[in-house]
Amino acid sequence: MAVRTFNPITPGQRFRVAVKKDELTKGVKPEKSLLISFGKTGGRNSDGHRTMRQRGGGHKQRYRIIDFKRDKDGIPATVQSIQYDPNRSAHIALLQYADGEKRYMIAPQKLVVGQEVVSGRGAAPEIGNCLFLAEVPLGAFLHNVEIHPGQGGVLVRSAGTSAQMMGREDRYAVLRFPSGETRRVLSTCKATIGIVGNADHSLEIMGKAGRMRWKGWNPRTRPVVMNPVDHPMGGGEGRASGGHPRSRTGIKSKGQKTRSRTKASNALIISRKKG
């Protein structure tokens, strides 16, 4: 994949950088049986109070049901198509199992239409196959990693990310995650072989404010231009810096640790993330 720029025929195209979607299957519509309609909250909770700012509007979307568990063990599936998913940065692959069932999975790099994938014990450590961590070879790159057996993958699911198998300790596998953190995960958890596709997603530039509105993001007001009653960084004479960066509720950003010191999973972390 690569990126493409545009001739500035319109102001919105002058700075826009788009990602080429050559790997997507052309002329394919989403699988209707795997679509769910859902509304938008506009950042409001069940009482109608706004609990998240800068949200609202956006294009109508439908959710694609993704098989994060990959629990059809031993049944081979064929990749029917690679599709775009508006709800995530990664692309998704439509699988058709030998028994006729269809499911979506996150599409890793180098996964092609017509390829056969399988999950469960005894599966080969090949791109798209889902294995128990006890059977993953050392040095392999993984995504869609479980942290509780049978829960389904919750880690390493965004575009271009991967975890690496570093070793084994007793009943744990040692993984290094994209953040740089190294931690133990139970060997009875599952993960999918390969690096998540659409790695150039981070290079995309919207080019105009309207494209962010289509995604459901509203304009953001800089805290330093607010009044002291509205934000801790507001106020001052002239163009004041605003002091140390912090949130609207006063919690410092850029370095303050927020993880609980007594969290049970701290014992599983071997080395913390970068920085």
Q: Which residues pair with 18 in a beta bridge?
A: 4
Q: What is the pLDDT of residues 94-118, one digit of tens each?
A: 999 999 999 999 999 999 999 999 9
58 with 40: CB under 8 angstroms?
yes
CA distances from 67 to 93, 152, 173, 227 (A): 10, 8, 23, 47
The answer to whether 109 and 130 are in contact (CB under 8 A) is no
How does pLDDT run across 188-209, given as a tens digit for each residue? Answer: 999 999 999 999 999 999 999 9
From start to end of 107-219, where are the E strands? 116-117, 130-132, 141-143, 163-169, 172-176, 182-186, 190-193
Amino acid residing at 66: I
If one counts every other C-beta atom within 10 angstroms of the C-beta of residue 225, the result is: 13
User: Where exactly are the structural domains of the chain?
Assistant: 3-42+54-202
| Positive/negative CA dihedral, 151, 152, 154, 156 | positive
- pLDDT attached to residue 236: 92
Per the CB < 8 A criterion, the answer to whether 264 and 272 are in contact is no
Whole-model pTM above 0.95?
no
pLDDT of 1 reads 64
**pLDDT per residue as tens digits for the range 36-57:** 999 999 999 999 999 999 999 9
pLDDT given at position 146: 97
Given a contact cutoff of 8 angstroms between Cβ atoms, the answer to whether 118 and 128 are in contact is: no
User: The domain 3-42+54-202 belongs to what CATH superfamily?
Assistant: Nucleic acid-binding proteins (2.40.50.140)
